[in-house]
Structure 1
């Protein structure tokens, strides 16, 4: 059976991608490797566990020998690389893990993929793709009214997280221009939706609100992000993998610029409707806290290239996507509790890949 290799496929975007991929009964198999740290959850993949096309392996992408064995055994026709440390606050508190996973891990994966790609016959080499999933944060911060990020915007990362992703992007580009490896990079705006770990803004607001806890917003709450529903994000990645040009990068965004305060208000209003409190509004729980160091003011993505070249556009409006996200978290308290308490982080049921 032909396979694709997905890294970080038990995380938020990776898990949603795997579930979407396997929803097509004609799709290739998925070899899903994940280190199963705090943000990787087997429960996210419950819908894939009984699918014979899916295999989850607990593996660190910094493990060169294990990756070599994996490529040799499964002979993937493509790599979709999600695996990354991704939380800015954590990168400020402990940057070393971000350099190790995001930079060293991407280098290790690239180098194994390069050797494997060279071993393929000419037809398989021409068809092979390495899709690197990155972030709009590599471009830095925009001022009010400044043009949105394009694929030619200079890199100006401002946090250890975004710097580590920028370094990974540069390595991916270098492996194409130096070795000819057929890579593609997707720089994506803020995703949201089901299975997002509760340290991120939208699920944190939802879970804190329901628990009666404060809803913390940094600074004045007016930092702006461009939001994209995870289902649309995954559809864009499928399109890029199928039809994107090797060596290119594509910005993926929803065109939904909202301040953090606007997001908090919208979530509180939805919760007031769907799970009302005995008294008052969830808005009363909003608290402004000291801003984090180097907090980027605004991100906004110009997705014109992927629209023109590949015909992709988001289908889910922000209002409907946010409503369905709130409803999902209301309907799945067991998953939320497992994520919050780290009950799924040990990865005991994932297969250990011996090198």
Structure 2
């Protein structure tokens, strides 16, 4: 089986490529990634010589390139991760998010429709990997797959637009599409501008740990490896035309999560001059339209496809902290000049 994975040099994408190559030795993975701020060859350098993995640097908005890939490699499935995916960046530069997340998705589904219509009746799947943020914020209860969309940031609005395009292509043209919505992921290879790696690395270096607002925003945290297993079962056994919510039912206030990370660092780094690391926490001005709470109900994927997370949160978080401590060369490589400029632009004056 040939599978086109977009955004396979990003955080979740690279973890998924590594997972699939390990589990399915007969699969050929074509990995298309533009290598913007969210992706890096550092994430997949151990995979570049794998004969079942072909990396192509390119833009999903490039119609000619996308059509060439379909024509040459005839993928049986597409797993679409590629996206501009940081809310803070979407507030600073929204146009890039609209371009990649909406027009890029259009380019992919239009190419898939054109090529798959010419092929036989074998099962093919376009798996659109999306976010719980399209539902907006919820005070009580949890969002289900049929909940109303109410995105509140340029990022989530662009992902909502992509979801609607995928659904329209399923309804209008019969594109064999499935969409998933996931909660906040964490684990190895996540870019340091995201909350968990940002806190780990800043704390190790004795820098302030910036917390938006009062720190009581709530997120459901899912270990990236568990997300990979969920996508695996959806891709292979999910019903065409359906949506599946993927969550761990593991909700934490931001401030409590940061305190937990600090306590883990206190334990792992007993000689750190910055202990207790919790003393580095600083509350900063909140970002615009900051959703208060995300919560999705994963009952459908659990009951229909038999999936559930297999990692205990505290164990996975500890393993993640250890990974960042043990891979400082990776951290230094991805915190390049572009990252430093973003960090200064986003946090200066807060």
Q: Considering the TM-score relative to the shorter chain, is it more than 0.5?
A: yes
Provide the residue aligned with 2:319 in structure 1.
Answer: 324
Tell me the distance in 1 between the aligned counterparts of 2:290 and 2:41: 32
1:219 aligns with 2:213: yes
Query: What is the aligned length?
Result: 338
Match of 1:43 in 2: 42
Cα contact 2:34–2:59 (8 A) shared by 1? yes
Q: Tell me, what secondary structure is at the counterpart of 1:337?
A: helix
Taking the aligned partners of 1:307 and 1:341, their CA distance within structure 2 comes to: 40
Partner SS, residue 32 of structure 1? strand
What does 1:248-259 correspond to in 2, within 5 Å?
248-259=242-253
* Structure 1 position 20 matched with structure 2 position 14: no
Q: Which residue of 2 aligns with 1:88?
A: 87
1:337 maps to 332
Match in the other structure for 1:293: 288
Give CA deviations for 1:270-318 in whole Å, capped at 9, x if unaligned.
0001123236300000000000011000001110000010000000111
Partners of 1:21 and 1:27 within 8 A in 2: no
SS in 1 for 2:55: strand
Instruction: Tell me the SS of whatever aligns to 2:190.
Output: coil
1:240 paired with 2:200, answer no
Q: Distance in 2 between matches of 1:183 and 1:44?
A: 28
- Matches of 1:20 and 1:37 in 2, distance apart? 22
Matches for 1:98-177 after TM superposition, within 5 Å? 98-122=97-121, 124=122, 127-143=123-139, 146-177=140-171
The alpha-carbon distance between structure 1 residues 320 and 27, as it changes in their structure 2 partners (threshold 3 A), is farther
1:303 paired with 2:298, answer yes
- Asked whether 1:206 is paired with 2:205, we answer no
Is residue 6 of structure 2 the alignment partner of residue 7 of structure 1? yes
Using the TM superposition, give the Cα deviation of residue 25 of structure 1 relative to its aligned residue in structure 2, in angstroms: 5.1
CA contact (8 A) 2:130 2:180 kept: yes
Whether the 8 Å contact between 1:39 and 1:339 is mirrored in structure 2 is no
In 1: Cα distance, 2:196 partner to 2:154 partner: 22
Q: Determine if contact 2:218/2:294 at 8 Å carries over to the other structure.
A: yes
The answer as to whether partners of 1:64 and 1:108 remain within 8 angstroms in 2 is: yes
Q: Distance in 1 between matches of 2:305 and 2:26?
A: 20
- Given that residues 198 and 204 in structure 1 are in contact (C-alpha distance below 8 angstroms), is that contact kept between their aligned partners in structure 2? yes
Query: Structure 1 residues 279, 290: CA separation in 2 closer, same or farther (over 3 Å shift)?
Result: closer
Matched, 1:66 2:60: no
3-state secondary structure, aligned to 1:120: coil
Q: What's the counterpart of residue 278 of structure 1? A: 273
Segments of 4+ in structure 1 off by > 4 A?
Answer: none
- Aligned partners of 2:66 and 2:111 also within 8 Å: yes
Comparing 334-343 and 178-187, the one that deviates more: 334-343
RCO (CA 8 Å, sep 6+): is it higher in 1 or 2? 1
Partner of 1:189: 183
- CA 1:219–1:343 in 2, change beyond 3 Å: closer, same or farther? closer
Distance 1:99 1:329 in 2: 32
Q: Normalization by structure 1: what TM-score?
A: 0.93
Residue number among 307, 316, 325 corresponding to 1:312 in the alignment: 307
Change in 2 beyond 3 A, CA 1:224/1:28: same
Contact kept, 8 Å, 2:170 with 2:241, in 1: the verdict is yes
1:264 aligns with 2:264: no
| Greater displacement, 184-193 / 276-285 | 276-285
What's the offset of the Cα at 1:98? 0.3
Query: Contact between 2:38 and 2:85, CA under 8 Å: does it hold in 1?
Result: no
**Residue 50 of structure 1: how far off its partner (Å):** 1.9
**Where do 5+ consecutive residues of structure 1 fail to align?**
345-355
Q: Quick one: distance in 2 between partners of 1:279 and 1:67?
A: 49
